[in-house]
């Protein structure tokens, strides 16, 4: 009989301690005694459903650090930016309620850094249908199949670029087939079409495996005919559990995880260390010497008792990019002028992180990766 799972309760704890540490609060547009004429707000839609908490908490902390630092240095044209968190439960109804709180507030000039991937995709769909009356900037949008409209401005490399980057390092193994492990039925439903399209573009045969509540058991059931390279689609706790099931497998396997996984946290959660895990990030490594990373580390250390992580660096970059374009708006800072500024945006280098857009309105192909070796070391 398998021992009780120690991994998933972490997410229930995040609903209390972790979210409070991130400073999550409900929107507070009306504040007695304060003049609305001078207010300027940027809203961030954050999915705190159980499956997205790990990603959202870190991303939000990075964004909050950036906005606090920006305000401490004078804001925009001497005006403080109110960074509003719009918490959702991952459902369309929850997202609608969050957006309804900002649609009629003219002080809110943009959405910035929506997270995670599912809620970012829902916002893209709403924007296509005309239900989003403002710029949607730097979302954590991993889905590479979605068509981007003229109000959406993604700056991070999507799943396709991440997979291509990670798998090219394994091409010397003569890689012809790839296993795809979906942590949950929801992950399979949301992502399998995108993963299948990407695998076909990379000329790989894809063998899918759907998690059904016990990922250790799934890891134990793999056979010698299962591909040596496994793409894992899911979060950090699920990946830690899956590696435990691979411990007794005789065949050496490699796991490719995408940007929603934190390898440091995975090790802390008791992941097995005899299977190499490669994790991609669409941001620089957090120990890089780039100016944007040094600024992030200094700001995070000053404002939050949190270790550096790729996801919080992404949140920091999302906020900084939003600020840089807002700071260049010609004329009054209102939704129309802000949207026009993003639509006219050119290439930008933010301390070593480059942003530019292709004809499909997609941006960066910037990808780095870290690896957990068989002896438990993390290298980048």
Residue-wise pLDDT for 327-348, tens only, equals 999 999 999 999 999 999 888 9
Residue 253 placed within a domain: yes
Mark whether 94 and 167 lie in a shared domain: no
Q: Give percent above pLDDT 90 in the chain.
A: 58
pLDDT the model gives residue 364: 66
Domain stops at, among 227, 261, 281: 281
Residue 364 placed within a domain: no
In the numeric block, which tokens belong to residue 166? 């990670």
Q: What is the pTM of this model?
A: 0.89
Mark whether 146 and 178 lie in a shared domain: no
More confident residue, 380 or 98: 98
Residue 1 placed within a domain: no
Q: Where are the alpha helices (DSSP H) in the chain?
A: 9-13, 19-21, 53-72, 92-103, 117-128, 159-168, 185-201, 215-221, 236-245, 263-268, 291-303, 310-326, 335-343
Residue-wise pLDDT for 251-283, tens only, equals 888 899 999 999 888 888 888 888 889 999 999
Query: Out of 23-37, 48-62, 97-111, 308-322, which region has the weakest mean confidence (pLDDT)?
Result: 23-37
235 within 8 A of 260, measured Cβ to Cβ = yes
pLDDT the model gives residue 14: 46
Mark whether 151 and 292 lie in a shared domain: yes
pLDDT the model gives residue 359: 66
Mark whether 175 and 221 lie in a shared domain: yes
Mark whether 168 and 135 lie in a shared domain: no
Give the number of domains in the chain. 2
> Which of 9-18, 39-48, 203-212 is the most confident on average?
39-48
pLDDT the model gives residue 360: 64
Residue 377 placed within a domain: no
Residue 93 placed within a domain: yes
Residue 358 in this model has a pLDDT that exceeds 80: no
Residue 189 placed within a domain: yes
Domain stops at, among 281, 312, 339: 281
CA 76 to chain centre: 26
86 within 8 A of 98, measured Cβ to Cβ = yes
What pLDDT band is residue 35 in, cutting at 50, 70 and 90? very low
Mark whether 272 and 174 lie in a shared domain: yes
Mark whether 327 and 182 lie in a shared domain: no
Mark whether 53 and 82 lie in a shared domain: yes
- The phi-psi region of residue 196 (left if phi > 0; otherwise alpha if psi is between -120 and 50; otherwise beta) is alpha
- The phi-psi region of residue 122 (left if phi > 0; otherwise alpha if psi is between -120 and 50; otherwise beta) is alpha
What pLDDT band is residue 173 in, cutting at 50, 70 and 90? low
Mark whether 241 and 275 lie in a shared domain: yes
pLDDT the model gives residue 76: 93
Q: Give percent above pLDDT 70 in the chain.
A: 88
Q: Once rounded to an integer, what is the mean pLDDT over residues 72-81?
A: 93
The CATH number covering residue 210 comes to 3.40.50.2300
Domain stops at, among 281, 303, 333: 281
pLDDT the model gives residue 172: 62
More confident residue, 345 or 43: 43
Mark whether 85 and 170 lie in a shared domain: no
Mean pLDDT, all residues of the chain: 86
What pLDDT band is residue 377 in, cutting at 50, 70 and 90? confident
The residue range of the domain holding 221 is: 160-281
DSSP one-letter code for 359: T
Residue 366 placed within a domain: no
Residue 184 placed within a domain: yes
Mark whether 152 and 177 lie in a shared domain: no
Residue-wise pLDDT for 206-259, tens only, equals 999 998 778 999 998 888 889 989 999 999 999 999 999 888 777 888 899 999
- For 120, 153, 274, the CA distances from 141, given in Å and listed in that order, are 6, 10, 31
Please return the burial class of 172, using the count of CB atoms within 10 Å of its CB with bins 0-12, 13-18 and 19+.
exposed
Q: How far apart are CA 138 and CA 319, in angstroms?
A: 8
Residue 115 in this model has a pLDDT that exceeds 60: yes
Mark whether 147 and 59 lie in a shared domain: yes
Residue 129 in this model has a pLDDT that exceeds 70: yes
More confident residue, 57 or 36: 57
Residue 36 in this model has a pLDDT that exceeds 50: no
Whose structure tokens read 């992180």? 353
């Amino acid at each position: 009989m398998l021992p009780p799972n120690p991994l998933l309760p972490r997410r229930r704890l995040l609903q209390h301690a972790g979210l409070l540490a991130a400073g999550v609060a409900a929107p507070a547009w009306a504040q007695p005694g304060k003049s609305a004429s001078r207010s300027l707000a940027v809203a961030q839609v954050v999915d705190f459903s159980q499956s997205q908490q790990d990603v959202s908490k870190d991303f939000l902390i990075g964004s909050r650090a950036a906005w606090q630092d920006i305000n401490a240095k004078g804001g925009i044209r001497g005006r403080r930016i109110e960074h509003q968190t719009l918490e959702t439960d991952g459902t369309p109804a929850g997202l609608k309620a969050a957006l309804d709180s900002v649609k009629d507030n003219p002080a809110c000039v943009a959405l910035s850094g929506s997270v995670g991937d599912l809620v970012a995709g829902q916002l893209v769909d709403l924007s296509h249908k005309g239900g989003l009356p403002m710029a949607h900037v730097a979302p954590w949008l991993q889905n590479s199949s979605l068509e981007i409209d003229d109000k959406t401005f993604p700056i991070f490399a999507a799943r396709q670029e991440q997979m291509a980057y990670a798998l090219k390092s394994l091409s010397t193994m003569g890689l012809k087939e790839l296993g795809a492990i979906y942590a949950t039925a929801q992950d399979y439903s949301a992502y399998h079409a995108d993963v299948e399209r990407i695998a076909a573009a990379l000329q790989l045969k894809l063998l899918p495996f759907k998690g059904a509540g016990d990922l250790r058991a799934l890891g134990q059931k793999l056979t010698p005919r299962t591909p040596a390279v496994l793409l894992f689609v899911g979060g950090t706790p699920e990946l830690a559990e899956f590696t435990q099931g691979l411990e007794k497998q005789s065949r050496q396997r490699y796991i490719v995880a995408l940007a929603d996984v934190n390898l440091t946290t995975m090790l802390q959660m008791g992941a097995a260390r005899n299977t190499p895990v490669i994790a991609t990030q669409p941001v620089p490594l957090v120990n890089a010497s780039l100016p944007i990373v040094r600024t992030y580390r200094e700001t995070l250390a000053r404002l939050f008792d949190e270790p550096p992580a790729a996801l919080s660096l992404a949140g920091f970059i999302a906020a900084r990019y939003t600020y840089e374009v807002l700071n260049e708006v010609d004329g009054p800072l209102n939704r129309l002028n802000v949207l026009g500024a993003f639509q006219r945006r050119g290439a930008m280098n933010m301390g070593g992180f480059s942003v530019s857009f292709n004809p499909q309105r997609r941006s960066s192909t910037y990808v780095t990766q870290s690896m957990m070796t068989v002896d438990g070391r993390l290298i980048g």
